[in-house]
């Protein structure tokens, strides 16, 4: 009886019998396959070497990408470190606001930076600091981590600057209680996107909240 085998059957057999080509070593010299790059017939050994070279190129490209990401993260970490040091040295709430705008808007090159606070210190005396509405408070309280993505659908946050297409919204908290929201906005649709990491944004939020609480509620720190 003739047994029909397909390619999967052959592949499964060779995987299950790794010593096959040891037993039939002369078969390797008789097998020729097409080179995927130029179509000429090559031995299986040449094909394996070609596959290894292709794999090596892929690994080199991946390594170069990882190095580039590492260098970019080093730059971001350095900027964040300098901002945190500046916030630690701030001796007043206006100084904290100035530093946030100076670093986020300047050093990090974010076109739009805005801050809203509530249930913290005495904000009535700050003439240039508009109060947050209930929609903003509710939105911030529901955030489990910084929001990154399109500004579409956030029309209720009326304080978003006109023309902003993507945004990062960072909740500021005192323990489990939300006390504010820090907004970073850009006209570029992909400047802030849903899949981006939020580790640095979370640290920015924690540092900003600590500086705000220290300068607006000094007796409680």
Angle at 186 between CA 180 and CA 190, to 5 degrees: 115
Q: Which tens digits make up the pLDDT trace of 191-220?
A: 999 999 899 999 999 999 999 999 988 654
The mean pLDDT of 78-104, rounded to a whole number, is: 94
Domain residue extents for the chain: 1-89, 91-220
Integer Cα distance of 89 and 136 in angstroms: 29
DSSP at 34: E
Position 46 scores a pLDDT of 66
Are 109 and 179 contacting, i.e. CB atoms less than 8 angstroms apart? no
Position 155 scores a pLDDT of 63
DSSP at 132: P
Give every strand in the sheet of 177-186, ordered side by side: 112-117, 177-186, 166-174, 147-150
Position 221 scores a pLDDT of 41
Q: Which tens digits make up the pLDDT trace of 38-66?
A: 656 555 666 667 667 778 888 888 887 78
The mean pLDDT of 148-171, rounded to a whole number, is: 82
The mean pLDDT of 119-125, rounded to a whole number, is: 69
pTM value > 0.75: no
Q: Which tens digits make up the pLDDT trace of 7-46?
A: 787 778 778 877 776 776 676 666 666 666 665 655 566 6
* 91-220: CATH architecture: 2-Layer Sandwich (3.30)
Q: What is the Cβ-side half-sphere exposure of residue 73, based on CA atoms within 13 angstroms?
A: 10
Compute the chain's Rg from CA coordinates: 29
* pLDDT(148) > 90: yes
> Given the structure tokens 């907004």, which residue do they identify?
183
> Given the structure tokens 């991946």, which residue do they identify?
62
Name residues whose C-beta falls within 8 Å of residue 99's C-beta, 6 or more positions apart in sequence.
83, 86, 87, 90, 211
């Amino acid at each position: 009886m003739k047994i029909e085998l397909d390619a999967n059957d052959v592949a499964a057999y060779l995987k299950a019998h790794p010593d096959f080509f040891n037993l039939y070593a002369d078969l390797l010299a008789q097998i020729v396959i097409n080179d995927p790059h130029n179509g000429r017939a090559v031995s299986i050994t040449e094909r394996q070497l070609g596959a290894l070279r292709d794999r090596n190129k892929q690994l080199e490209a991946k390594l170069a990408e990882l190095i580039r990401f590492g260098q970019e993260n080093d730059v971001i970490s350095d900027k964040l470190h300098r901002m945190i040091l500046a916030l630690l040295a701030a001796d007043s709430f206006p100084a904290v606001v100035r530093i946030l705008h100076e670093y986020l808007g300047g050093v990090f090159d974010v076109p739009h930076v805005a801050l809203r606070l509530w249930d913290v210190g005495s904000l009535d005396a700050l003439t240039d600091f508009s109060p947050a509405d209930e929609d903003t408070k509710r939105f911030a309280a529901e955030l489990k981590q910084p929001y990154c993505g399109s500004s579409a659908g956030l029309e209720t946050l009326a304080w978003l600057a006109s023309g902003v297409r993507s945004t990062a919204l960072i909740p500021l908290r005192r323990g489990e209680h939300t006390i504010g929201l820090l907004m970073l906005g850009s006209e570029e649709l992909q400047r802030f996107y849903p899949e981006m990491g939020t580790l640095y944004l979370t640290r920015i939020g924690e540092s900003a909240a600590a500086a705000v609480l220290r300068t607006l509620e000094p007796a409680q720190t």
